[in-house]
Structures are given as structure tokens and as C-alpha cells.
């Protein structure tokens, strides 16, 4: 038997459905530790659903998700899992400053009731500096551009000081400067042997930014090192409409 | 203590107690839920009364608080089916539960003092008649103590769980990942709203409870960008509304609760129009300015596009620009004049020509518009 420690995340027979319509069908995935993995697939392929199911935000119909050392309860792992949701998923008119939002990354370590203290604020500022936003710390979040919002979310995830990160389309709608900042950050996380799972749209940049890739469209088409599985044949299979699925069965 | 003072003390306490959970209702876009809860808790009170046959039993408060949570749960159950929207779900659940309560009261409890009018409008003027007497000593109006306890509970909960309320309101997904159950926070807040409603509506009526819960927070939201300040400001605005409302009622000899609700609305309206950053006047001015600035930038780009080209005469003439940009003559000359004043263009013959300053302005505009 393989040693489970080698994997950051293992997904087994995961099926997620909205009512009777499956969005993910029998997903098996093994994500090795220390990899930068892109999740690629057409619109509606279930990329965001996969991330949410892995994080336990959605209840699967079947299957299980295991983290790090075989623990399948995300609640006991909450300080080791970082999450960057799509920036459009929150209300940016919420009365808070950039620093307030980044500090939320520290909440998991604090647990219920305890408040963030000086070391947490220092950590938040440090993480803001990493995404090039330290001078924005006291800025209102409603005044940020799309790229800046995304960087604030990244800084917040960094403040979680997690081992495995899930990012839902961090490159969506960002400017070139933010894109470079995110890429530099991904490389830095990899150097620290962290695992990062990124929902990604731009096929062109997959080989430059990532070393591992999962191609999905309802089912997993391929999952492995970019140089082995990211080729035209697999991409065709992923982006072709329903034909893929049936061909796989018959 | 004079009854006038006592009435104002009660109003001030209720105003602050309502503003605290109300702030989170507003931020969660659930303002109308407070309207629903303030009415449906009557059913909880009636049902609990049938069990205890005692109008002063604390079980009535428990029943009301439970009914508030049931209201939220039922509404969300309906809207989660996606067969109807959340506002429609409120419109179904709230009249249904409230009407059942009214029918039960009129049919079975007519002789009891559960007066539907005083439930809706409250009777703050009568609050001082109900005294708190300990060992034969008059300690003041009872409502001061009941609403005071309520205020302490709300203050304590919001201070203790400030962090949790903040994250579960701003980003429920992250809250869930970090182990702060958004559902727990949600129903906790709803329990607090129900409790507040029960405690407050006996003194001031449900319409004023809604006014106190929603009015001050939306007013404060126009004035600040900070959650803590929004909470404090909501409380202060609620206090001002309560006292001004009482003074107006005393002067005009009208319903106290009605007057306070009207003042709440007026204060909101004043802030809405005159607020320094988010007010109506300010944002109209800003929009007008933006329109002018954008028109100036557009004209500069247009001039630069056609500069020294064959069609410059047609595109950049003082009298031809308006036809090409589809502007009115008046607007065009206003923009040209303002650009001349800024040294960005100069008039040479019948042509509008860019100056070096104008070219520099184009670069600046380009940078601010296209590289964030």
C-alpha cells in the first residue's frame, strides 16, 4: 500500500449532485504534496464545485476527501487548509478595511471568542507586503480595483499559514501586475513545500505556472504532471461536449 | 422619577438594544426579516400563554424567541426550494403566522389583556404605570429593567462574538472553512433579534422596533466605512431619534411611538441627502464631474487620433466636433472652453489643436484608465 503521507489531498469516488443532476461524477484524485496544481475544464465542468466539495462546503452524494495524514474531517484541519474564494463571492461594500479582511485569515488559529492581537496584525501587514499592498492596509475595501481585491484575498489566505491552499480563479479579471504577483507567490509557496490547487481558465499559461494539472469535465479526464497529461488529446477530450463521457463508458 | 424622563430612558435603551443586532441584519440584507419577526413572535407569545395561562410568565419570552427562529427557518426553507424568492417567502410566512395569532387571540383569549393594537403600536406612554417594586420600595418603571437586561445581553453577545459575526457576515464560505459554522452564527443572531423584539415590543410596539432596528444602522452605513463605528453610530443615532421623537410628540401631543418612527425616517432622509461621501447631493455632483472629466478625456483622444491627418479639418473643427461626437453645441463649447482654460488645447483658426499640456493630459488619462 502507498504511504498516505505522500499526498496532500486524496479524493475517492466523489459524486456531487444538485437535485438529480450530477455536477461531479465519480471523481478520483491524488494530489501529491508540494505541487502547484491547476484544475482546468470548460464552463460548468464542476471546477468550483470540486473545490467546495473538497473543502466540505458541499455535501457529496458519495465518496470521501482525505487530507494530509489520512484525516477526513476538515474541521480538525481547519488551520492547515487555506481558501481563496472567487472575489465576486463577497460584498465589497462591507464596512471593513484591507487590514480587517486580511486579519480574518488569522481567525481559524484563534478559534471562537479570542480576538486577534498584535502578532496577528503584524502577520497581516507582512502578508500584505508580500502581495505589494502594505500601503493599502487602512484603505476601505470598497475602494479597491478587481486586481487589488484578489491580492487582498491572497494575503488573507497567506495569513492562514496553511499547508494546502485552494484558490478559485485567482487570475480572473486581474491586471498584469496582479498576475505577476500571484505567480511569484505560487512559486514561493511551492518552495515552502506547500500544495496549491488553483481553478484556472487560461490554458496558455498552464505549463508556465503549474507543474501538476487536473483536467475535468464532470469526470476526471486526466490528472498528473503537466508535461505528461497536458496534451492536445486530453484537452480535446475535456473540451468536447457530452461525447467525452459516453466514449469513456463504451 | 418623572414619567417623561422614564419614557425617554426606556426609548433610549430600546433604541440602542435594537440598533446592535439591526446593524448585522442590514449588512446581511435581511432588513425585512425584522418586520416579519416582530409580528410572528405574537404567535409564540399566544401559544406559550395557552400553556401557562400567565401573562407574566418568562415562558412567553421563550415561546416568542422560538417563534422568531421558526419564522426565519420557515422562510429560508421556502426560498431554498427556489420555487419562490426570499421576499415572496417572507410575504407568505409572516401574514400566515401573524394571522393565526390574531385569530387565536380573538377566539380564545378575548378576555385577556393581549391587545392587538398595543402590540402593533405599543404604548410607551403607559410604560411608567407598570412599576418595579422591591420590598415596598418603588425602583422605577419595570420596562427600564426588562429592556436594560436586554441591552446588556445584546451588548455582551455582540462584543464577545464580534469576530464571528463579522466573518460570517462578510464571507460565510471562509467562516465555514475556518470552523465558525455560519448557520450557528446566523441562527444565533436570529435568536438575538427575536429576543430583542419580544423585550422591546411590549414597551414600544413592533412598528417602532422595526424602525429602531433598521433606521439607525442604514443611516450610520451612509456615514462610516468601519463596522465598529457603524455599531456605535447606530446606537447614537437611535438615541437621538428616540429623544427627538419624544420631544416632538410632547410638543405636538401625538403618539410617542409614531413620532419616534417618523423622526427615524426623517433623520435617515436628511443623512441620505447630505452625507459627506455617500449622500445624494455628493454623488450627483460626483457623477456630473465624472461626466465632464470623461468628456474632456474623450475630446483629447479624438483630437490626438485625427491630428495632422487629411480629415483633421472635418474632425477637429470648432463647429464640426459636435457632429462627430454627437454632442450638443452647448456641451461641446463648454468642454472646449474648459480645456482651453486648462491649457490642454488652443484654438487656431477654426481648428482645435492640442497643446503639449494636452498631450501630457492624454498620457495621464491613459494610465489612470487602463493600468490599475
Short-list A203, A127, A128, A194, CA closest to A167: A194
Q: Which of A81, A94, A175 sits opposite B371 (nearest CB)?
A: A175
pLDDT value of residue B207 = 83
Q: In which element (H, E) is residue B269 found?
A: helix B256-274
- Which CATH number characterizes residue A209's domain? 3.40.50.300
Q: Which residues on adjacent β-strands are paired with residue A39?
A: A199, A214
Q: In which element (H, E) is residue A172 found?
A: none
Whether residue B227 and residue A95 make contact (CB cut-off 8 A), yes or no, is yes
Asked if A90 and B171 touch (Cβ cutoff 8 Å), the reply is: yes
Query: CA-to-CA distance for B361 and B53, rounded, in angstroms?
Result: 79
> In Å, how far is B358's CA from the nearest CA of chain A?
27
Mutate to test the interface with B, among A107, A177, A179 (most CBs of B within 10 A): A107
B83 close to A (CB below 8 A): no
pLDDT value of residue A44 = 82
Under the banding of pLDDT at 50, 70 and 90, the label for residue A2 is very low
List the 225-284 stretch of B: residues with Cβ below 8 A of A: 225-227, 229-230
What is the percent of chain A with per-residue pLDDT over 90, rounded to a whole number? 43
> In Å, how far is B29's CA from the nearest CA of chain A?
11
Specify the number of domains making up chain A: 1
Q: Alpha helices of chain A — where are they, by DSSP H?
A: 47-54, 98-103, 107-110, 118-130, 146-159, 176-191, 206-209, 226-229, 232-239, 243-249
Of the candidate ranges A20-29, B65-74, B233-242, the one whose mean pLDDT is the lowest: A20-29
Contact residues for A68 (Cβ-Cβ < 8 A; gap 6+)? A5, A8, A77, A80, A163, A164
Asked if B197 and B38 touch (Cβ cutoff 8 Å), the reply is: yes
Answer CATH for B282-370 from 1.10.1040.10, 1.10.10.10, 2.40.160.10, 3.40.50.12780: 1.10.10.10
pLDDT value of residue B51 = 87
Mutate to test the interface with B, among A52, A75, A91, A95 (most CBs of B within 10 A): A95
Its domain, for residue A92, covers 4-249
A108 close to B (CB below 8 A): yes
pLDDT value of residue B119 = 61
Under the banding of pLDDT at 50, 70 and 90, the label for residue A173 is confident
The domain ranges of chain B are 3-276, 282-370
Q: Work out the mean pLDDT of chain B and round it to a whole number.
A: 88
Size of interface A-B (CB pairs under 8 A): 82
Q: Which of B169, B173, B180 sits opposite A57 (nearest CB)?
A: B173
Contacts of B369 in chain A (CB under 8 A): none
Asked if B189 and B167 touch (Cβ cutoff 8 Å), the reply is: no
Q: Which of B170, B178, B229 sits opposite A78 (nearest CB)?
A: B178
End-to-end CA distance of chain B: 62
Under the banding of pLDDT at 50, 70 and 90, the label for residue B143 is confident
Short-list B301, B369, B288, CA closest to B334: B288
Output the CA angle A191-A196-A202, nearest 5 degrees: 110
DSSP state of B347: E
Q: Which of B161, B177, B230 sits opposite A83 (nearest CB)?
A: B177
pLDDT at B267 over 70: yes
Whether residue B166 and residue A96 make contact (CB cut-off 8 A), yes or no, is yes
Q: Which residues on adjacent β-strands are paired with residue A42?
A: none
Asked if A38 and A87 touch (Cβ cutoff 8 Å), the reply is: no
Tell me the CATH number for domain B3-276. Answer: 1.10.3470.10
Cell of A187: 512559486
Under the banding of pLDDT at 50, 70 and 90, the label for residue B233 is very high
Cα nearest neighbour of B29 on chain A: A91
pLDDT value of residue B309 = 79
Contacts of A101 in chain B (CB under 8 A): 170
Cell of B263: 423622526
Whether residue B161 and residue A113 make contact (CB cut-off 8 A), yes or no, is yes
Q: What is the pLDDT of residues A105-135, one digit of tens each?
A: 999 888 898 899 999 999 999 999 999 899 9
Amino acid at each position: 500500500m502507498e504511504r498516505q503521507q505522500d499526498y496532500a489531498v486524496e479524493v475517492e469516488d466523489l459524486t456531487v449532485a444538485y437535485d438529480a443532476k450530477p455536477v461531479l461524477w465519480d471523481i478520483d484524485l491524488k494530489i501529491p504534496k508540494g505541487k502547484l496544481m491547476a484544475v482546468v475544464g470548460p464552463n460548468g465542468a464542476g471546477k468550483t464545485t470540486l473545490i467546495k466539495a473538497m473543502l466540505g462546503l458541499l455535501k457529496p452524494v458519495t465518496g470521501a476527501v482525505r487530507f494530509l495524514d489520512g484525516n477526513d474531517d476538515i474541521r480538525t484541519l481547519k488551520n492547515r487548509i487555506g481558501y481563496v474564494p472567487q472575489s465576486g463571492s463577497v460584498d465589497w461594500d462591507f464596512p471593513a478595511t484591507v487590514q480587517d479582511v486580511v486579519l480574518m485569515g488569522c481567525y481559524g488559529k484563534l478559534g471562537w471568542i479570542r480576538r486577534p492581537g498584535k502578532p496577528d496584525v503584524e502577520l497581516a501587514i507582512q502578508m500584505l507586503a508580500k502581495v505589494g499592498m502594505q500601503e493599502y492596509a487602512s484603505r476601505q475595501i470598497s475602494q479597491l480595483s478587481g486586481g487589488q481585491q484578489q491580492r487582498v484575498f491572497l494575503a488573507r489566505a497567506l495569513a492562514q499559514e496553511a499547508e494546502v491552499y485552494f484558490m478559485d480563479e485567482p487570475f480572473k479579471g486581474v491586471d498584469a501586475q496582479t498576475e505577476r504577483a500571484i505567480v511569484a507567490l505560487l512559486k514561493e509557496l511551492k518552495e515552502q513545500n506547500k500544495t496549491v490547487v488553483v481553478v484556472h481558465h487560461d490554458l496558455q499559461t498552464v505549463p508556465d505556472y503549474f507543474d501538476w494539472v487536473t483536467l475535468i469535465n464532470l469526470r476526471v479526464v486526466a490528472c498528473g504532471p503537466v508535461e505528461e497529461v497536458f496534451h492536445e488529446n486530453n484537452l480535446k477530450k475535456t473540451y468536447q461536449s457530452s461525447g467525452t463521457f459516453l466514449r469513456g463508458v463504451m | 422619577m418623572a414619567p417623561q424622563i422614564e419614557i425617554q430612558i426606556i426609548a433610549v435603551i430600546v433604541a440602542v438594544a435594537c440598533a446592535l443586532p439591526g446593524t448585522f441584519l442590514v449588512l446581511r440584507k435581511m432588513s425585512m426579516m425584522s418586520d416579519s419577526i416582530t409580528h410572528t413572535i405574537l404567535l409564540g407569545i399566544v401559544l406559550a400563554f395557552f400553556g401557562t395561562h400567565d401573562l407574566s410568565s418568562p415562558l412567553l419570552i421563550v415561546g416568542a424567541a422560538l417563534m422568531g427562529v421558526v419564522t426565519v427557518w420557515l422562510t429560508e426553507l421556502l426560498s431554498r426550494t427556489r420555487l419562490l424568492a426570499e421576499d415572496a417567502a417572507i410575504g407568505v410566512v409572516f401574514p400566515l403566522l401573524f394571522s393565526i395569532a390574531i385569530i387565536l387571540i380573538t377566539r380564545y383569549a378575548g378576555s385577556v389583556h393581549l391587545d392587538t393594537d398595543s402590540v402593533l403600536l405599543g404604548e410607551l406612554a403607559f410604560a411608567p404605570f407598570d412599576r418595579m417594586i422591591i420590598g415596598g420600595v418603588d425602583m422605577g418603571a419595570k420596562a427600564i429593567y426588562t429592556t436594560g437586561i436586554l441591552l446588556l445581553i445584546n451588548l455582551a453577545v455582540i462584543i464577545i462574538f464580534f469576530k464571528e459575526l463579522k466573518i460570517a457576515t462578510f464571507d460565510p464560505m471562509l467562516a465555514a472553512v475556518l470552523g465558525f459554522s455560519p448557520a450557528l452564527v446566523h441562527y444565533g443572531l436570529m435568536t438575538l433579534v427575536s429576543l430583542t423584539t419580544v423585550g422591546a415590543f411590549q414597551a414600544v410596539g413592533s412598528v417602532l422596533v422595526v424602525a429602531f432596528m433598521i433606521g439607525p444602522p442604514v443611516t450610520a452605513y451612509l456615514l462610516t466605512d468601519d463596522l465598529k463605528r457603524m455599531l456605535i453610530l447606530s446606537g447614537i443615532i437611535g438615541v437621538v431619534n428616540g429623544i427627538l421623537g419624544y420631544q416632538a410628540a410632547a410638543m405636538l401631543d401625538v403618539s410617542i411611538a409614531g413620532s419616534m418612527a417618523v423622526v427615524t425616517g426623517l433623520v435617515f432622509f436628511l443623512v441620505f441627502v447630505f452625507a459627506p461621501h455617500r449622500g445624494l447631493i455628493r454623488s450627483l455632483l460626483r457623477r456630473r464631474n465624472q461626466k465632464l472629466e470623461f468628456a474632456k478625456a474623450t475630446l483629447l483622444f479624438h483630437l490626438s487620433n485625427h491630428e495632422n491627418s487629411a480629415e483633421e479639418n472635418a474632425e477637429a473643427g470648432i463647429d464640426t466636433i459636435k457632429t462627430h461626437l454627437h454632442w450638443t453645441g452647448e456641451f461641446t463649447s463648454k468642454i472646449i472652453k474648459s480645456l482651453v482654460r486648462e491649457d490642454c488645447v488652443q484654438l487656431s483658426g477654426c481648428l482645435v489643436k492640442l497643446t503639449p499640456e494636452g498631450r501630457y493630459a492624454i498620457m495621464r488619462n491613459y494610465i489612470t484608465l487602463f493600468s490599475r
